[in-house]
């Protein structure tokens, strides 16, 4: 303590005894160097280009290696494809697109009632057929499987040589909107029953055929399979589970030559958004007073803008067709946008940005 007292005292004395220095005269202030013109400061030099190209090449390298290491997947232009949840929206458009694009495919459109079955039949596409399917029910899935395999058998070139079953598009899905504290458990269970267990139930039922014929699986996930936003956390959790199941399937099925792809749409115009609101499971939401920050005018306006700028289901159908028909299907297809920000920006940001940066961005 004594050792440190002396220098402190000395500093105080020096400070009080010395008078403040006089302000410098203008003649003493050195002139500021003239600033460079903005154009010169930001001029792109050749080595900038070299750095950008090298970075781009390095970022692309894993994809290039992946592509070189891959042998092409079997592309089927004949055989059966099932699209679940094809009564409306993304599923319906995908089923119509596949049937129109590849007349050799027999596309089975999964629907849950007679009215939707008739609407599919009324399209008069000879290779688009409705099939009754509730993905949450074992007997419904098994009955759909029997119907499809029987129909494919009847279309084969010979009685004992059926058309193969070559593709499954797991699209059936439901959503829900509430803060987790208020999200009624039966509603959360329903979301998982359709989006996760339904997907697994149908996949298990059709995998023997898909493996036998080197077919493909396409799962309709969401940009919310890569990140989670408030009020949609239960739905996001179901899509994260779907992403994980898809990764597992892709790795387990690699040796069989079965490709598994995930479509990650942003906002796509479909009845699902209206359904989310009418199915709002908590009477206290969005009027909930304990979570007012989840239902601010700014948040509501954002949701309205998202819906107003929702992409056509044609964007998802193009990705589904690519994943089903291209020799080198991608594992993930971020498509469409969220309030005009492309889905890929969100999926990339979720992969690289720190959690709290994402929190501030998504919940601003
Ligand atoms: N639209 C978007 O912005 C968006 C964004 C990201 C991801 N997605 C995903 O895209 C998929 C399709 O959604 P969408 O937007 O096209 O909505 P949608 O028009 O409401 O379609 C959902 C489909 O799933 C069916 N479905 C619901 N429960 C079912 C069950 N238990 N068994 C069989 N089918 C069932 C519905 O049949 P019913 O008509 O009989 O109810 C309907 O055909 C969903 O997985 C959704 O999560 C949508």
- Is residue 24 in some structural domain? no
How distant, in Å, are the alpha carbons of 232, 271, 277, 302, 335 from that of 309? Answer: 19, 15, 18, 11, 13
The single residue listed with the structure tokens 């994809």 is 63
- Is residue 70 in some structural domain? no
Closest CA to 199 of 217, 224, 185: 217
- Is residue 149 in some structural domain? yes
Weakest-pLDDT range from 19-28, 42-51, 229-238:
19-28
Structure confidence by residue, pLDDT tens digits, 133-186? 999 999 999 999 999 999 999 999 887 899 999 999 999 999 999 999 999 999
- Is residue 342 in some structural domain? yes
- Is residue 240 in some structural domain? yes
pLDDT band at 329 (very low <50, low <70, confident <90, very high): very high
Domain count along the chain: 1
pTM for this prediction: 0.85
- Is residue 231 in some structural domain? yes
Q: What pLDDT sits at residue 49? A: 81
Structure confidence by residue, pLDDT tens digits, 233-285? 999 999 999 999 999 999 999 999 999 999 999 999 999 988 776 655 555 45
Q: Which atom of ligand 1 is nearest to the CA of 267?
A: 3
Helix boundaries (H) for the chain? 2-17, 38-41, 46-69, 89-101, 114-121, 138-155, 185-192, 199-212, 233-253, 272-278, 297-308, 313-325, 343-352, 355-362
**Residue 231 to residue 173: CA distance in whole angstroms:** 17
Q: So which residues are the catalytic ones?
A: 235
Residue 213's domain spans which residues? 75-362
Q: What pLDDT sits at residue 9? A: 43
- Is residue 32 in some structural domain? no
Nearest CA to ligand 1 atom 42: 85
- Is residue 340 in some structural domain? yes
Average pLDDT (191-199) is: 98
pLDDT band at 7 (very low <50, low <70, confident <90, very high): very low
Give the Cβ contact number of residue 346 at 10 Å.
23
Tell whether ligand 1 has an atom less than 6 A from the beta carbon of residue 90.
yes
Average pLDDT, whole number, for the chain?
A: 88
Q: Which of 38-42, 304-308, 317-321 has the highest mean pLDDT?
A: 317-321
Tell whether ligand 1 has an atom less than 6 A from the beta carbon of residue 250.
no
Phi-psi region of 313 (alpha: psi -120 to 50; beta: other; left: phi over 0): alpha
CATH number at residue 80: 3.40.50.720
Is the per-residue pLDDT at 109 higher than 70?
yes
Q: What pLDDT sits at residue 3? A: 37
CA of 174 to the centre of ligand 1 (A): 5
CA of 134 to the centre of ligand 1 (A): 12
């Amino acid at each position: 303590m004594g050792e440190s007292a002396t220098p402190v005292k000395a500093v105080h004395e020096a400070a009080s005894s010395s008078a403040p220095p006089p302000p410098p005269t203008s003649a003493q202030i050195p002139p500021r160097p003239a600033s460079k013109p903005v154009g010169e400061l930001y001029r792109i030099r050749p080595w900038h280009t070299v750095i950008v190209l090298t970075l781009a090449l390095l970022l692309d390298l894993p994809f290039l290696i992946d592509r070189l290491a891959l042998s092409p997947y079997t592309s089927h232009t004949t055989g059966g494809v099932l699209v679940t949840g094809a009564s409306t929206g993304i599923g319906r458009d995908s089923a119509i697109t596949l049937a129109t694009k590849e007349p050799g495919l027999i596309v089975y459109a999964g629907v849950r009632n007679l009215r939707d079955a008739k609407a599919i039949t009324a399209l008069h596409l000879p290779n688009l057929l409705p099939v009754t399917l509730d993905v949450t029910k074992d007997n419904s899935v098994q009955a759909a499987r029997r119907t499809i395999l029987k129909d494919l058998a009847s279309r084969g070139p010979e009685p004992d040589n059926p058309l193969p079953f070559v593709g499954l598009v797991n699209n059936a899905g439901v959503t829900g909107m509430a803060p987790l504290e208020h999200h009624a458990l039966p509603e959360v269970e329903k979301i998982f029953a359709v989006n996760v267990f339904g997907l697994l139930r149908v996949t298990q039922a059709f995998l023997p055929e898909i493996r036998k014929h080197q077919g493909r699986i396409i799962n309709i996930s969401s940009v919310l399979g890569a990140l989670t936003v408030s009020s949609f956390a239960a739905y996001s959790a179901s899509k994260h589970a779907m992403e994980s199941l898809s990764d597992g399937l892709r790795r387990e099925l690699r040796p069989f030559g079965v490709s598994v792809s995930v479509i990650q749409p942003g906002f796509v115009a479909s009845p699902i958004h209206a359904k989310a609101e009418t199915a709002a499971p908590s009477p206290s939401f969005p009027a909930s007073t304990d979570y007012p920050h989840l239902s601010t005018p700014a948040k509501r306006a954002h949701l309205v803008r998202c819906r107003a700028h929702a992409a056509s289901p044609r964007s998802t159908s193009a990705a589904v067709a690519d994943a089903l028909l291209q020799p080198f299907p991608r594992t993930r297809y971020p498509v469409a946008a969220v309030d005009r920000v492309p889905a890929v920006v969100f999926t990339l940001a979720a992969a690289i940005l720190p959690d709290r940066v994402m929190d501030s961005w998504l919940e601003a």
